Amino acid sequence: MATSKAFFHARSVSLPSTSHPQDVSTEDHLCRLSAYQASPSSSSISQNLGEIKDLYEQMNKFIHFPHNKNALSNEKVEEVLEGSIALLDTSSLALDAVSQMKESLLDLKSSLRRGMDGEGVHAYLVSRRRITKMVSKYIATLKKANKVSASLEHNDTAIRMLKEAENITLSALKSVLSFVIGKKAMSQTGGWSMVAKLVKSKQAPAKTDEASEVEDVDRTLSFVSKKHPGVECKVLLRQLEALETIIYELENGLGQISRCLVKTRVSLLNILNH
């Protein structure tokens, strides 16, 4: 997948040498995840989701240590809880988009194997337009929210690390959304109206090494028509298999993250109520 800019800039947290070992371990995890945000690829996005799941499992232990739990005043916990709503909303939207894409991929594969190329391609493109519209609209909402997002400059280590984990997670989820809509291909083709026109073309679009699996499928679809379905359909089926594997990984990773985020929010609510 082509390199994309991180949605949020995550910096490392400097902890005093007397920090609790669990704090240091969590900080190391945050630093590793910050590095992943620099150049996400289709493979690293899936790996990143797994790392974030592990991070939140650590964070759930981290916030229950007395030295951190006592530092979380009501005002500070409420700030983190507000951010957790955005995380839950974004992970839910990403999971929905990935699940819809999985279903459309399976339908297209089934259609191609039955020899119904035109019908299958049309149904897939309709689904892609719907998913792209939904995701693009949400990304625009996230950008607006980012302009007024809370600063990472907190004196308290627990809050600072929770906010950095929030920013890193949102950045990873944004990478998933960008991957799903095939952002680079969209900008190059001028939108889905152009992709639909290319389906009737005999000219195969140029392939680049930086294209994602989603973009590879979109590019091949632009060359598949009733006049020349043979080789192109075989190529397309191979590409669909590769994309399907990644989509399943993303769906599984997003489901795990959503459950971890709910657990973290419950823990913070319990702290607030006590």
More confident residue, 243 or 35: 243
Are the C-beta atoms of residues 139 and 174 closer than 8 Å to each other?
yes
pLDDT digit string, tens, across residues 56-80: 988 888 888 887 777 776 777 887 8
Residue 67 lies in a domain: yes
Tell me the C-alpha distance between 34 and 168, whole Å.
7
Question: 93: Cβ–Cβ under 8 A, 6 or more apart, which residues?
Answer: 134, 135, 138, 177
Are the C-beta atoms of residues 49 and 253 closer than 8 Å to each other?
yes
Its pTM surpasses 0.85: no
The secondary element (H helix, E strand) that includes residue 41 is: none
Domain count of the fold of the chain? 1
pLDDT at residue 200, rounded to an integer: 44
Residue 215 lies in a domain: no
pLDDT-derived band at 22 (thresholds 50, 70, 90) equals low
Are the C-beta atoms of residues 120 and 112 closer than 8 Å to each other?
yes
More confident residue, 24 or 263: 263
Residue 79 lies in a domain: yes
What is the extent of the structural domain holding 99?
21-182+252-272
pLDDT at residue 263, rounded to an integer: 92
Per-residue H/E/C for 193-247:
HHHHHHCCCCCCCCCCCCCCHHHHHHHHHCCCCCCCCHHHHHHHHHHHHHHHHHH
Residue 224 lies in a domain: no
Are the C-beta atoms of residues 86 and 163 closer than 8 Å to each other?
no
Q: What do you get for the CA distance between the two ends of the chain, in Å?
A: 46
Residue 203 lies in a domain: no
Q: How long a stretch of residues is the chain?
A: 274
More confident residue, 65 or 196: 65
Residue 113 lies in a domain: yes
Residue 216 lies in a domain: no
Opening angle at CA 149, ends 166 and 23, nearest 5 = 35
Residue 11 lies in a domain: no
Query: Across residues 104-118, what is the average pLDDT?
Result: 83
pLDDT at residue 10, rounded to an integer: 41
Are the C-beta atoms of residues 87 and 254 closer than 8 Å to each other?
no
